[in-house]
Structure 1
C-alpha cells in the first residue's frame, strides 16, 4: 500500500517531459519490451523504501495502452507491495517515451534512455534526473554491463553514488 500511495504523490507532482539533454531511445518496439523486468538498481525514493525483489510487468491493455504492475517485497513488514497503473506513448510508438499513471488523470514520464538491442536490459528515467532505474530480464545483470550503465548514467548527470542495488534473492517463504 505504501508503494501505491507514494507513487500517487510522485505522479501528482510529476510531468511527462524529458530531462534536459536526455533523449529517449528510437526504433522502440513495444511488443519486445512487454513482459517481466527485474529492478537491478534505482535512485532512492520513498515509494520504494525497504523494497526488495522489485519487478515490473508490462502487458497490453484493450485500449491500446500498457498495463503496468510494479511489485516489491518489504522485508520489515514481510509482505508484498504492488501498484497497478497504465501507460501511453507521449509521441509516437517508435520512441521510448511513455507517460504512466497510477492514480487518476495524473501522469509522469517513463523515458527509456538505454535499451539493449535484444531487449535484455534497459535504463529508464522519469521527468528529471531524480529518477533512474536499471532493469533486466533476469534477476541479475553482469558486472561489466552494470558498470557500463552506471558510467553512462554518471556521464548524463545522474547521482550514481546514490544508487541502491536491489536484492532479488530475499527469502519470501514466510509470507502467505
Structure 2
C-alpha cells in the first residue's frame, strides 16, 4: 500500500509537470481565479476525516472506505495518514503516512508534503465549516480536490452546498465523484466504480 501511495504522489507530481498537455479543460468561468486558503485551528482540525467525494489522484478511485487521519506532532508538522480498502470492503484496510509541513504564515492551511525529495506536493484547505465537521482540500491548480467529513456519510443537502461553493471557487464540479463508504453505495450513480 505504501508503494501505491508513493506511486500516486509521484504520478501527481508528473501530472503537475505535464498537466497542461493532458489535464481536462476546466470550463468553469472562475477557473483562473486563485484559490484562497482559509484559516485553520490545527488542534481542532486533527483526527479522522472520511473522504466523501473527490477529484482523485491516480488510483485513488479504486478504494472504498477512504479516510485521512491527521496527527499534530510536537515539532509542528503533521502526520498525514491515508487509508482505505482497495477494490472492496472484503479487503484489509491499508495505507501510508506522509509528513506534512504547514506553510509558515499560511494560516495553517497550506500543507507541503515531500513524498520523494526534491518533489513537493501542496494541498490547500479552502473551506472548513465553523464546527469542524466538513472540510474541502485541493491542489492550487484545482486539478485534484477532496470533500471530507468527520462522519462517513453526508446529507445530500450538505454535499450539494459544498459543490456549489466549489463551483464558485472555479472547480470543474462535474469531475467530482462520491467515494463509497458503505457497501450499499456500490454501483450507485455519482459514485466511483469499484473494480
Shorter-chain TM-score tier: 0.7 to 0.9
CA gap of 1:81–1:159, structure 2 versus 1, over 3 A, is farther
Pick one of 90, 100, 104 that aligns with 1:87: 100
Q: Which runs of 5+ in 1 are unaligned?
A: 172-176
Q: Matched residues in 2 for 1:8 and 1:62: separation?
A: 28
Q: TM-score, normalised by structure 2?
A: 0.76
User: Residue 116 of structure 2 corresponds to which residue in structure 1?
Assistant: 103
**Residue 64 of structure 2 corresponds to residue 52 of structure 1:** yes
Determine helix, strand or coil for the equivalent of 2:107.
coil
Assess if the C-alpha contact under 8 Å between 2:42 and 2:108 holds in 1: no
Any idea what the Cα deviations from partners look like across 1:108-161, whole Å, max 9, x if unmatched? 111010101111000111131101110000001121111011011112221211
- Bigger proportion of residues as strand: 1
Q: Matched residues in 2 for 1:44 and 1:56: separation?
A: 14
Q: Which runs of 5+ in 2 are unaligned?
A: 18-31, 185-195
Deviation at 1:41, TM superposition (A): 0.2
What RMSD, in angstroms, separates the aligned Cα atoms of the two structures?
A: 2.3
Pick one of 25, 40, 45 that aligns with 2:52: 40
Q: TM-score, normalised by structure 1?
A: 0.84
CA gap of 1:153–1:116, structure 2 versus 1, over 3 A, is same
Assess if the C-alpha contact under 8 Å between 2:109 and 2:124 holds in 1: yes
Q: Matched residues in 2 for 1:131 and 1:103: separation?
A: 19
CA gap of 1:105–1:59, structure 2 versus 1, over 3 A, is farther
How is 1:1-176 mapped onto 2 (pairs within 5 angstroms)? 1=1, 2-11=4-13, 14=16, 20-26=33-39, 28-75=40-87, 78-92=91-105, 94-170=107-183
User: Residue 174 of structure 1 corresponds to which residue in structure 2?
Assistant: none
